[in-house]
A and B are shown apart, each in its own frame.
Chain A
Amino acid sequence: MHEDMRRDQAVHALDEIRARHHQVLTATVIPDWFWSAIGALMVVFTGGVESRRPVAVGVCGTVFVLGLNAVIWVVVLRNRAGIRNRYLGRSGFGLIFGFAAVLVAVGLAVGFGLAASGFRWPATAANAVVAVLLAAGGPVLMRRLRRLMVARADATLDRS
Protein backbone atom coordinates (compact mmCIF):
# COMPACT_ATOMS: atom_id res chain seq x y z
CA MET A 1 0.00 0.00 0.00
CA HIS A 2 1.23 3.48 -0.64
CA GLU A 3 1.20 4.42 3.05
CA ASP A 4 4.30 2.24 3.36
CA MET A 5 6.03 3.91 0.46
CA ARG A 6 9.35 5.33 1.46
CA ARG A 7 10.57 8.68 0.37
CA ASP A 8 13.30 7.17 -1.77
CA GLN A 9 10.75 5.04 -3.62
CA ALA A 10 8.71 8.14 -4.38
CA VAL A 11 11.87 9.93 -5.57
CA HIS A 12 12.67 6.97 -7.82
CA ALA A 13 9.15 7.04 -9.26
CA LEU A 14 9.41 10.76 -10.02
CA ASP A 15 12.84 10.21 -11.59
CA GLU A 16 11.29 7.56 -13.83
CA ILE A 17 8.51 9.96 -14.82
CA ARG A 18 11.06 12.67 -15.55
CA ALA A 19 13.14 10.31 -17.69
CA ARG A 20 10.09 9.26 -19.70
CA HIS A 21 9.11 12.89 -20.23
CA HIS A 22 12.61 13.58 -21.53
CA GLN A 23 12.36 10.60 -23.84
CA VAL A 24 9.30 12.05 -25.52
CA LEU A 25 10.56 15.61 -25.62
CA THR A 26 13.96 14.76 -27.05
CA ALA A 27 12.77 12.27 -29.66
CA THR A 28 13.82 13.86 -32.95
CA VAL A 29 10.72 14.98 -34.80
CA ILE A 30 12.14 17.39 -37.35
CA PRO A 31 15.43 16.06 -38.72
CA ASP A 32 18.24 18.51 -39.48
CA TRP A 33 18.07 17.80 -43.22
CA PHE A 34 14.46 19.06 -43.30
CA TRP A 35 15.58 22.69 -43.09
CA SER A 36 18.12 22.33 -45.90
CA ALA A 37 15.55 20.54 -48.04
CA ILE A 38 12.94 23.27 -47.55
CA GLY A 39 15.52 25.96 -48.31
CA ALA A 40 16.65 24.19 -51.48
CA LEU A 41 13.07 23.75 -52.67
CA MET A 42 12.38 27.45 -52.10
CA VAL A 43 15.41 28.39 -54.20
CA VAL A 44 14.37 26.02 -57.01
CA PHE A 45 10.84 27.43 -57.05
CA THR A 46 11.94 31.05 -56.99
CA GLY A 47 14.56 30.43 -59.65
CA GLY A 48 11.95 28.91 -61.90
CA VAL A 49 9.58 31.83 -61.45
CA GLU A 50 12.29 34.44 -61.96
CA SER A 51 13.48 32.75 -65.14
CA ARG A 52 10.18 33.86 -66.68
CA ARG A 53 10.31 30.81 -68.93
CA PRO A 54 7.06 28.84 -68.84
CA VAL A 55 8.83 25.48 -69.01
CA ALA A 56 11.13 26.38 -66.14
CA VAL A 57 8.20 27.71 -64.11
CA GLY A 58 6.28 24.49 -64.71
CA VAL A 59 9.18 22.18 -63.96
CA CYS A 60 10.41 24.07 -60.92
CA GLY A 61 6.88 24.47 -59.59
CA THR A 62 6.28 20.77 -59.95
CA VAL A 63 9.58 19.93 -58.26
CA PHE A 64 8.66 22.30 -55.43
CA VAL A 65 5.22 20.79 -54.86
CA LEU A 66 6.37 17.18 -55.13
CA GLY A 67 9.46 17.83 -53.06
CA LEU A 68 7.54 19.63 -50.35
CA ASN A 69 5.01 16.82 -50.16
CA ALA A 70 7.74 14.21 -49.97
CA VAL A 71 9.64 16.06 -47.24
CA ILE A 72 6.51 16.59 -45.16
CA TRP A 73 5.40 12.99 -45.59
CA VAL A 74 8.76 11.68 -44.42
CA VAL A 75 8.57 13.87 -41.31
CA VAL A 76 4.96 12.85 -40.64
CA LEU A 77 5.79 9.15 -41.00
CA ARG A 78 8.78 9.51 -38.68
CA ASN A 79 6.74 11.36 -36.09
CA ARG A 80 6.02 8.90 -33.32
CA ALA A 81 4.59 11.19 -30.68
CA GLY A 82 2.87 14.55 -30.63
CA ILE A 83 4.47 16.75 -28.02
CA ARG A 84 2.11 18.84 -25.92
CA ASN A 85 2.19 22.52 -26.81
CA ARG A 86 2.08 23.49 -23.17
CA TYR A 87 5.76 22.60 -22.94
CA LEU A 88 6.54 25.31 -25.48
CA GLY A 89 4.91 28.11 -23.55
CA ARG A 90 5.11 31.74 -24.57
CA SER A 91 8.89 31.73 -24.84
CA GLY A 92 8.82 28.73 -27.14
CA PHE A 93 6.29 30.30 -29.45
CA GLY A 94 8.26 33.51 -29.23
CA LEU A 95 11.40 31.72 -30.40
CA ILE A 96 9.54 30.20 -33.35
CA PHE A 97 7.93 33.45 -34.44
CA GLY A 98 11.16 35.33 -33.87
CA PHE A 99 13.05 32.91 -36.09
CA ALA A 100 10.43 33.21 -38.81
CA ALA A 101 10.44 37.01 -38.51
CA VAL A 102 14.21 37.14 -38.93
CA LEU A 103 14.03 34.96 -42.04
CA VAL A 104 11.31 37.11 -43.57
CA ALA A 105 13.12 40.34 -42.71
CA VAL A 106 16.43 39.16 -44.15
CA GLY A 107 14.76 37.76 -47.25
CA LEU A 108 12.86 40.94 -47.94
CA ALA A 109 15.85 43.18 -47.27
CA VAL A 110 18.16 41.19 -49.54
CA GLY A 111 15.53 40.78 -52.23
CA PHE A 112 14.49 44.43 -52.42
CA GLY A 113 18.07 45.56 -52.10
CA LEU A 114 19.19 43.41 -55.01
CA ALA A 115 16.16 44.36 -57.07
CA ALA A 116 16.94 48.05 -56.51
CA SER A 117 20.51 47.46 -57.67
CA GLY A 118 19.25 45.86 -60.86
CA PHE A 119 20.36 42.34 -60.08
CA ARG A 120 18.73 39.85 -62.46
CA TRP A 121 17.69 37.26 -59.83
CA PRO A 122 16.86 39.17 -56.66
CA ALA A 123 14.24 36.80 -55.21
CA THR A 124 16.29 33.71 -55.97
CA ALA A 125 19.37 35.21 -54.36
CA ALA A 126 17.32 36.36 -51.37
CA ASN A 127 15.87 32.88 -50.96
CA ALA A 128 19.35 31.41 -51.23
CA VAL A 129 20.39 33.55 -48.27
CA VAL A 130 17.24 32.51 -46.39
CA ALA A 131 17.95 28.88 -47.26
CA VAL A 132 21.39 29.12 -45.70
CA LEU A 133 19.88 30.69 -42.58
CA LEU A 134 17.25 27.95 -42.47
CA ALA A 135 19.84 25.19 -42.81
CA ALA A 136 22.01 26.70 -40.08
CA GLY A 137 19.33 28.09 -37.81
CA GLY A 138 16.65 25.40 -38.01
CA PRO A 139 18.59 22.75 -36.08
CA VAL A 140 19.69 25.36 -33.54
CA LEU A 141 16.06 26.41 -33.06
CA MET A 142 15.03 22.78 -32.52
CA ARG A 143 17.76 22.26 -29.91
CA ARG A 144 16.74 25.44 -28.06
CA LEU A 145 13.10 24.38 -28.11
CA ARG A 146 13.95 20.92 -26.82
CA ARG A 147 15.96 22.38 -23.94
CA LEU A 148 13.11 24.74 -23.15
CA MET A 149 10.52 21.97 -23.18
CA VAL A 150 12.63 19.70 -20.99
CA ALA A 151 13.11 22.53 -18.49
CA ARG A 152 9.38 23.23 -18.40
CA ALA A 153 8.57 19.54 -17.97
CA ASP A 154 11.08 19.26 -15.11
CA ALA A 155 9.59 22.34 -13.46
CA THR A 156 6.15 20.72 -13.31
CA LEU A 157 7.64 17.72 -11.53
CA ASP A 158 9.73 19.77 -9.11
CA ARG A 159 6.77 21.71 -7.79
CA SER A 160 5.45 20.51 -4.45
Chain B
Amino acid sequence: MSQPVHPRFDELIHAPTRLSIVALLAAADWADFKFIRDSVGLSDSALSKQLSALEEVGYVEIRKGFVGKRPRTSVKLSRHGRHAFEGHVAALQQIIGPAIST
Protein backbone atom coordinates (compact mmCIF):
# COMPACT_ATOMS: atom_id res chain seq x y z
CA MET B 1 0.00 0.00 0.00
CA SER B 2 1.23 3.55 -0.72
CA GLN B 3 2.66 5.62 2.10
CA PRO B 4 0.92 8.87 3.05
CA VAL B 5 2.51 11.80 1.22
CA HIS B 6 3.88 14.56 3.40
CA PRO B 7 4.72 17.84 1.69
CA ARG B 8 8.47 18.14 1.57
CA PHE B 9 10.20 20.58 -0.73
CA ASP B 10 13.18 18.92 -2.37
CA GLU B 11 15.94 21.29 -3.48
CA LEU B 12 17.68 18.57 -5.46
CA ILE B 13 14.58 17.73 -7.48
CA HIS B 14 13.52 21.33 -7.87
CA ALA B 15 16.52 22.40 -9.97
CA PRO B 16 14.87 23.08 -13.38
CA THR B 17 16.62 20.39 -15.42
CA ARG B 18 16.30 17.75 -12.75
CA LEU B 19 12.64 18.65 -12.22
CA SER B 20 12.01 17.94 -15.90
CA ILE B 21 13.88 14.65 -15.74
CA VAL B 22 12.19 13.46 -12.56
CA ALA B 23 8.77 14.53 -13.84
CA LEU B 24 9.32 12.43 -16.97
CA LEU B 25 10.38 9.44 -14.88
CA ALA B 26 7.47 9.87 -12.50
CA ALA B 27 5.00 9.24 -15.33
CA ALA B 28 6.79 6.08 -16.42
CA ASP B 29 7.81 2.75 -14.94
CA TRP B 30 11.06 3.22 -16.83
CA ALA B 31 12.37 5.46 -19.60
CA ASP B 32 15.05 5.04 -22.19
CA PHE B 33 18.13 7.26 -21.75
CA LYS B 34 17.76 8.61 -25.29
CA PHE B 35 14.09 9.39 -24.73
CA ILE B 36 14.92 11.44 -21.65
CA ARG B 37 17.80 13.14 -23.46
CA ASP B 38 15.70 14.07 -26.49
CA SER B 39 12.67 15.10 -24.43
CA VAL B 40 14.60 17.39 -22.11
CA GLY B 41 17.02 18.58 -24.79
CA LEU B 42 20.32 17.66 -23.18
CA SER B 43 23.55 16.20 -24.45
CA ASP B 44 24.53 12.67 -23.39
CA SER B 45 27.13 13.96 -20.95
CA ALA B 46 24.83 16.60 -19.44
CA LEU B 47 22.11 14.05 -18.85
CA SER B 48 24.56 11.55 -17.41
CA LYS B 49 25.72 14.18 -14.95
CA GLN B 50 22.17 14.92 -13.82
CA LEU B 51 21.32 11.25 -13.49
CA SER B 52 24.48 10.63 -11.48
CA ALA B 53 23.43 13.31 -9.03
CA LEU B 54 20.01 11.66 -8.67
CA GLU B 55 21.51 8.19 -8.44
CA GLU B 56 23.90 9.25 -5.68
CA VAL B 57 21.00 10.03 -3.37
CA GLY B 58 19.14 6.93 -4.42
CA TYR B 59 16.40 8.65 -6.40
CA VAL B 60 16.96 6.78 -9.66
CA GLU B 61 18.15 3.38 -10.79
CA ILE B 62 20.06 3.08 -14.02
CA ARG B 63 20.18 -0.19 -15.88
CA LYS B 64 22.22 -1.03 -18.93
CA GLY B 65 21.05 -3.90 -21.04
CA PHE B 66 20.35 -5.08 -24.53
CA VAL B 67 17.28 -5.32 -26.68
CA GLY B 68 18.33 -7.91 -29.14
CA LYS B 69 21.83 -6.82 -30.00
CA ARG B 70 21.18 -3.14 -29.36
CA PRO B 71 22.49 -1.70 -26.10
CA ARG B 72 19.89 0.19 -24.20
CA THR B 73 20.19 2.21 -21.02
CA SER B 74 16.99 2.58 -19.10
CA VAL B 75 16.29 4.72 -16.06
CA LYS B 76 13.61 4.40 -13.45
CA LEU B 77 12.63 6.37 -10.41
CA SER B 78 13.32 4.38 -7.26
CA ARG B 79 10.67 4.03 -4.57
CA HIS B 80 12.63 6.57 -2.53
CA GLY B 81 12.80 8.93 -5.51
CA ARG B 82 9.11 8.58 -6.26
CA HIS B 83 8.24 9.31 -2.66
CA ALA B 84 10.52 12.36 -2.71
CA PHE B 85 8.90 13.57 -5.92
CA GLU B 86 5.38 13.13 -4.56
CA GLY B 87 6.39 15.01 -1.43
CA HIS B 88 7.81 17.79 -3.58
CA VAL B 89 4.61 18.01 -5.65
CA ALA B 90 2.60 18.19 -2.42
CA ALA B 91 4.87 20.99 -1.20
CA LEU B 92 4.33 22.92 -4.44
CA GLN B 93 0.58 22.45 -4.13
CA GLN B 94 0.78 23.69 -0.57
CA ILE B 95 2.55 26.86 -1.74
CA ILE B 96 -0.13 27.42 -4.36
CA GLY B 97 -2.88 26.99 -1.85
CA PRO B 98 -6.37 25.54 -2.30
CA ALA B 99 -7.11 24.17 -5.77
CA ILE B 100 -8.82 26.61 -8.11
CA SER B 101 -11.33 25.01 -10.45
CA THR B 102 -10.87 25.95 -14.10
Binding site for B on A (CB under 8 A): 2, 5, 7, 10-11, 13-14, 16-17, 19-21, 23-25, 27, 73, 76-77, 79-85, 87, 153, 157-160
Contacts and interface: CB of A to CB of B under 8 A. Distances in A.
A77 to B, nearest CB: 6
Contact of B24 (A13, A20, A79, A87): A20
Q: Classify the interface of chain B: helix, strand, loop or mixed.
A: helix
A13 B91 CA distance: 11
Given A5-B95, A14-B92, A160-B96, A82 B30 contact: yes
Interface string B1-33: 000000001010010100110011011111110
26 contacts: A2-B11, A5-B9, A5-B95, A7-B97, A10-B92, A10-B93, A10-B95, A10-B96, A13-B14, A14-B92, A14-B93, A16-B20, A16-B23, A20-B26, A20-B27, A20-B39, A25-B27, A77-B68, A77-B70, A80-B35, A84-B27, A84-B28, A84-B29, A153-B27, A157-B89, A159-B99
Given A13-B14, A158-B99, 15 more contacts: A2-B95, A7-B95, A10-B92, A14-B92, A16-B20, A17-B89, A21-B23, A24-B24, A24-B31, A80-B34, A81-B28, A81-B32, A85-B29, A157-B93, A160-B98
Determine the main DSSP class of A at the interface with B.
helix
A80 B68 CA distance: 15
Interface in B52-71: 67-68, 70
Interface residues of B, number: 31
